[in-house]
Structure 1
Amino acid sequence: MNKAKILSKLEVKQREEEAEVWQQSRWLNRDNVPLPPSRRLWGAWSYVGFWCTTGINISGWTGGSSLLSLGLSVGEAMAVVVIGQCLVAGACILTGLFGAEWHVGFPLWNRTTWGMKASVFPLLNRIALSFTWSATQAWFGGQVLKTLLGSMFPSIYNMHNPFPASTAMDGADFLCFCLFLIISLPLIYIPPEHFRIPFLITGVISTTCCFSIFFWSLARAHGGGPLIGSEAMAIVGVEKARGSVLAWAIFHGISSQMGQICAGILNNSDYTRFAIHPRAQIISQVCVIPIMGTLTCLIGIICTSVAAKFYPDEGLLWAPYDLLAAVQKNGGAGARAAVFFASLAFLFAQFGINIAGNAISGGIDLASLFPKWINIRRGVQTTLMALPMCPWALVSGATVYISVMAGYATFLAPMTGMMVFDYIFIRKRKVKLSSLYECSPSSIYYYYKGYNLRAPVAWICGVAPSFPGFLASVSTVKVSLGATHVYYLCWPLGFTISGVVFVALSKIWPPDGIDEVDEYDIFGTFGEPTGPPEAVEKSINMTDTIGVSMNEKEDIGGVHAVAVRE
C-alpha cells in the first residue's frame, strides 16, 4: 500500500451527505463547523450541571490549603474565595459570549484575533495544558477509585508493590490509575452535546455527597474543628499574615483563584456553543460558579479541620481520598459503606471534570488544528497521554509543578483579554463565519500572510510585567519584592493590559472587515440551510446549495444573527 492510500485511510471519515462540503477546505470538519440548531441542546439547567460537576471536585476541595498556607485565617480565605469566584464567573460570561452567539468554540475564536495561521500558537498552549491537567485529574480519579475498591477489598492497601520508593507510588496506585483510564475510554465516545444529562446527574450526586460529609463532620465535632480557632496557624505551620503582607496575600489568593481555572475560562466557548439560546449560559454561570466554588472550598476546610481533631496522627488530610481512607481505617463496617458511596460520588465527579474539562477540550482543539485527520472522537483519546506523562511524579510534592500550573495564568490571561476586548470593543460582536475557514487573502482574518501582528505585540505587553515574578516562583532566580507583588496580580493585570493594548493598536491600524458578517447562513447555523448556490460561492466555494438570506435577521443579545426557524 503506497503512502497516498495510507494517508487516505487515516483521514476523518465524513457522512456521505456531508463529504462534499467538508472536503472543500482543510480548515474545517464536522466538529469545528458552526453548530446547527439540532446540535444545540444545552439549556440553563445543563450549565448548572456542568458547573456543579466542574466545581465540586478534588481540586476545588483542596483549594483552601493553598490559601491558609499564605497566612490567611479561614474567614479571610473564604472572603478571598468569594471575590475570586465572582471574578471567575464574570470572566466566564465574557468568554462564553462568542460561543453562545455564534456557536463555534475557542479554536475558531482564536482565528479572529490572531489570524488564521498565528492562531496555532494559543491553540498549542491550550492543548499542552489539556494533556497535563488530564493526567493530573486522572491520577486523582485513580486515587478515588482506590478508596472505592478499598472499601470493598481492604487488602488492596497491602497488595504487592513492585515499584521502588523513589517512584512516589505503589502498585495499588498504578493499578487504579490504569483502571480509571480504561473506564474513561467508553465515555469519550459520547457526543459532547449529549453530556448535559450526565452532568446534571453527576452534579446532584457530588453535591449531595459533599454536603453529607460536611454535615457529618460538623455533627461529629460539634463545630468546625481546630482550624476555625486561634490555633489554626500553628496547625498549618505558617505565621499569620498582617499589615501589607496580609493585603498582598489577599491579592495573591484572588489571582490564584482565577489562575487555577484560567484554561477553563479561556476555552469556555467550547461549551457555550451548545447553548439553545445565548442567554442560557449567563444566569447559570452567574449563580452557580460563585456558590459552588465557595461552598466546595469551605467544605474542604471544615472537613480537613475536623479530621485534624479526630485523626491527629494522620496530618492535615486536605485531599478527600486521604480523608476517606482515614475514616475507613479508624471506623467499622458502617464507615466502609460510607466510604464506598462517597468514593463513588467523587469518582463520577472526576470522570465529569476530566472527560469534559480536559479530554473534550483537547479533542476540540486538535480537531481544529488537524481537521482533516482528527475529529473530537479521535482527539479525546489523547486522555491516554496521561500514562506517559507520569502524573504520580508531578503531584508528589512537586512544588515547582504546582507553581508552574498555577502561574500559567501569566500566559493565558493576556490571550483571554485580547480575545474578549477584540470581540466586544473592536468587532462589536460581529463575526464573518465563512472567513474562519478560508486561509487566503480573501478572508478578513488572514491579516498579513495569516498573522495579525497586533496580537503578539499585545500579548507580550501583558506577559512582560508578571514574567519576572513567575520565573522566580518556579526557579531559584531572585527578583525584587515589587516584581513579586506584580506577579500576584498576573491574571487581572495581564488580561487588562493585553486587552487595552490590542484595542489601541486596532484603533491606530484598523483591520479590514471589522463590521462584516456573512450575507448568507452558509452553514445552517441559525436554521435549515436553503438558498441559491451562488450565495455559497461568495463564501468558501462550497458546492452544496445552502444559504439563508441575512434579510431574515433578528437581534439576539445585541448580535445580528439569522433567525432560528422553529
Structure 2
Amino acid sequence: MEKTSENNSYLKSPDLLPIGYEQRKIGIVGFFAMWVGMAILLATFDIGASGIQNISLPWVVLATLIGCIAVGIFISIVGDIGVEHGLSFPVYMRAPFGIIGTHIPSITRAVTASFWFGLNTYFGSTAINSIIHTIHSGFDNWLLCYAIFALVQLINTASGIKWVERFADFAAPIIIILSLIIYQTLTADIVERGSNVWAWAESPVTGGAAFTAFIIVIFANMGFWATLGCDIPTISRFFKAPKFERNWFKRNRTNLIGSLIAMPLTEAFMIMIGAAAFMVAGTSNPVVALQETASGWMLGMLLLMIVLTQWSTNTAANIIPAAAIFSNVLGPKASNVIAVFVVGVVGTIIQPWSVYEILTQALLFIGAVLSSISGILVVDYYLLRKRRVNVQELYQHNGQYRFHGGINIAGFLAWVVGGIVAILLMDYSFIVGFVLAGALYYVLAKYWYFKKFPQAEMLDPSDDKYLGITVGRDWIIDGEVTKQQEEVQSNV
C-alpha cells in the first residue's frame, strides 16, 4: 500500500481517489449489459437514417461495424488506465495537461456529456409524453415529463455505480426484446409498401461519392463514442480484474468483450432501426415512425423501450463521467451527489434538442475535439510512461505534475493543433485528431518538455514503484483521507 502525507486539498476529493481491488464490482456480464443499454439510443438512429440517403443499408451496417470495432479497440486501450491504477479520467489528465490544465479539456468532455444527457432525456421525455397521451388523450406536457425523467436518472446515478449496473442488468433483456419488435414492425410496413429495406437508398450515389458517404458513417460512429473513449477510465476503474496479471488482454477482458462485441452488434442493429424508421416516416426518430405503424399496447411498449434506453445510456455514459469531472473542478466541498445534479442543470441549460437536425455534423465536430485528447492520452500512458504512473504525485499541489503553474504546455499545444486540423478535415476528424495530436505531443514532451520537467516513472520505469494491479497494489492517497475514501467506495 502506498501513502503520502500531504494535507487534504481539492486534488484529493474523495470521489476522485483511486478505486481499490475490493471495490471493483463490474464484471463481464455487467459491462456487457451496460453497453447494450448505452448503444441503444435515439441519437444512434440518426446515423442510419443519414447513411441510407446515399448508400444502401448493407454498406451502412458494414461501415458501422468497422467504426465501432475501431473505436472499441481504442476504448479498451484507454480503459487500461482505470483498470491498472483505479484512476478516473480527470485525475489522469493531470499528467498530460497539468493539475490545473486538466480542467479545460476535462470540462470540454463534461459539457459534451451533459449535452448528451439533455438530448437523451428530451427523447425519453417525448416518449413518456406519448405514452401518457395514448392512455389519457388530454395530456400533452413534455417539459413536465422531462423534469421528472431527469430527476429519476440523476437520483439513480447519485445512488452509486452498483445501482447503475443493476438498472442495466434489468433493462438490457427488455431493451433487446422490444428492439426486435420495433424492427419487425417497421420492416413489415416497408414490405407492405413493396420496398426492400436492404436495397433501398433515397438518393443513391456511386464512385467517389459513395466512398465518401461510407467513410462518413465510419467516422460518425467513431465520433459518437469518442466522448466515452476519452474518459472510459472513469468507468473502467470499477471493472473486476485479476491481481498480478501481466497479460494485457486477460486484465482488460471485461472492457474488450463489452467494447468489441456488445457495442458493435448493438449499434449496428440500432442503425438498422434508424434506417427503417426513415424509410417509413422520413425521419430517424422511431417515436414518430412508430406512431404511424403501431397503436395501442404495442405503441406503449415500444415507447417504453425508448425510455429505458435513454435512461441506461445517460447514467453510465454521460452522468458518471461528467460528474467525476465536475467533482474535480469544484473540489471536495462538492460531493458526488452535487456533481451529478450539476450535470443535469448544465445539460438542460444547453437545450441540445435544438441541434438534433445537424447531429451527424455535430458528432464529427465532437470527434475532432475529443479524439485529439484521446491521442494525447494514449501516447502519454503507453509510449512515454509505458503504463507506469507516479500516482502519488497526481494528488500533490507542488509535485511532478505542476509544470508551468499547473499547466503542461506540450499537452495544450498538441491538443490545439490536432483539434484545429481535425476540424478542418471534418469527414476524417477522429483519425486526424487522434494521430496528429498524439504524434505532436510525443515529440514535444519527449524531446523538449519532459527535459525541463523530468518524470520519475520515465527516468526509473520500475514496476514495483509505478504499476498498480499488475503488481497487486491498491493506491492509497494520504492517510488522512483514507476514511473518506472507504466511505465513498463503500457506496460503489
Report the TM range for the smaller structure's normalisation.
Answer: 0.7 to 0.9
Match of 1:247 in 2: 211
Q: Whose helix proportion is higher, 1 or 2? A: 2
The residue identity in structure 1 corresponding to 2:11 is W
Counterparts in 2 of 1:22 and 1:261: CA distance versus 1, 3 Å: farther
Deviation at 1:387, TM superposition (A): 3.6
| Deviation, structure 1 residue 232 | 3.0
DSSP-derived class of the 2:12 partner = coil
Q: Is the 8 A contact 1:218 1:224 kept in 2?
A: no
Mapped partners of 2:56, 2:381: distance in 1: 40
**1: CA distance, partners of 2:193 / 2:447:** 57
Matches within 5 A, 1:56-455: 56-69=40-53, 71-156=54-139, 159=140, 172-219=141-188, 221-222=190-191, 226=195, 228=197, 232-233=201-202, 239-277=203-241, 278-279=251-252, 280-305=254-279, 308=280, 315-328=281-294, 335-382=295-342, 383-395=344-356, 397=357, 399=358, 403-440=361-398, 443-455=399-411
1:520 to partner: Cα distance: 9.4
Amino acid at match of 2:366: Y
TM-aligned CA distance change 1:541 to 1:101, over 3 Å: closer
Match of 1:445, SS? coil
Where 1:507 maps in the other structure, the secondary structure is: helix
**How big is the shift at 1:223?**
7.9
Rate the CA distance shift 1:21–1:244 in 2: closer, same or farther, 3 A.
same
Contact 2:364 / 2:427 at 8 angstroms: preserved in 1? no
**Does structure 1 retain, via aligned residues, the 8 Å contact 2:278–2:284?**
yes
Give the Å deviation of 1:302.
2.9
Listed one character per residue, the Cα deviations across residues 117-164 of structure 1 (whole Å, up to 9, x for unaligned) are 2111111211221222221111111111112212322333xx5xxxxx
Aligned to 2:486: none
Measured after TM superposition, the shift of residue 250 of structure 1 is: 2.0
Q: Give 2:244's aligned residue.
A: none
Q: List runs of 5+ in structure 2 lacking aligned partners.
A: 242-250, 484-492
Q: Following the alignment from structure 1 to structure 2, what is the Cα–Cα distance between the partners of residues 65 and 220?
A: 16
What is the match of residue 246 of structure 2? Answer: none
Q: CA RMSD in A?
A: 2.9
Q: CA deviation at 1:25?
A: 2.5
Question: 1:225 and 1:62 mapped to 2: Cα distance?
Answer: 24
Q: Distance in 2 between matches of 1:141 and 1:449?
A: 44
Residue of structure 2 equivalent to 1:9: none
TM-score, normalization: structure 1?
0.75
Larger Rg: 1
Partner residue in 1 for 2:438: 499
User: Which of 41, 45, 61 is residue 29 of structure 2 equivalent to?
Assistant: 45
Partner Cα distance (1:497, 1:342) in 2: 43
SS of residue matched to 2:11: coil
Q: Percentage identity across aligned positions?
A: 18
Higher RCO (C-alpha 8 Å, min separation 6): 2
Aligned residue for 1:35, secondary structure, equals coil
User: Structure 1 runs of 4+ off > 6 angstroms?
Assistant: 520-523
Q: Shift of residue 355 of structure 1?
A: 2.4
Which consecutive unaligned segments of at least 5 residues does structure 1 have? Answer: 1-19, 160-171, 234-238, 309-314, 329-334, 470-485, 530-535, 547-566
Q: How far is the alpha carbon of 1:347 from its aligned partner? A: 0.9
Q: Is the 2:55–2:210 Cα contact (8 Å) retained in structure 1?
A: yes
* 1:173 positional shift: 2.5
The change in CA–CA distance for 1:223 and 1:497 in structure 2 (over 3 A counts) is: farther
Q: Deviations over 1:531-560 (max 9, x none)?
A: xxxxx9xxx7645899xxxxxxxxxxxxxx
- How many pairs align? 461
For structure 1, which segment, 48-57 or 283-292, has the greater mean C-alpha deviation from structure 2 after superposition? 283-292
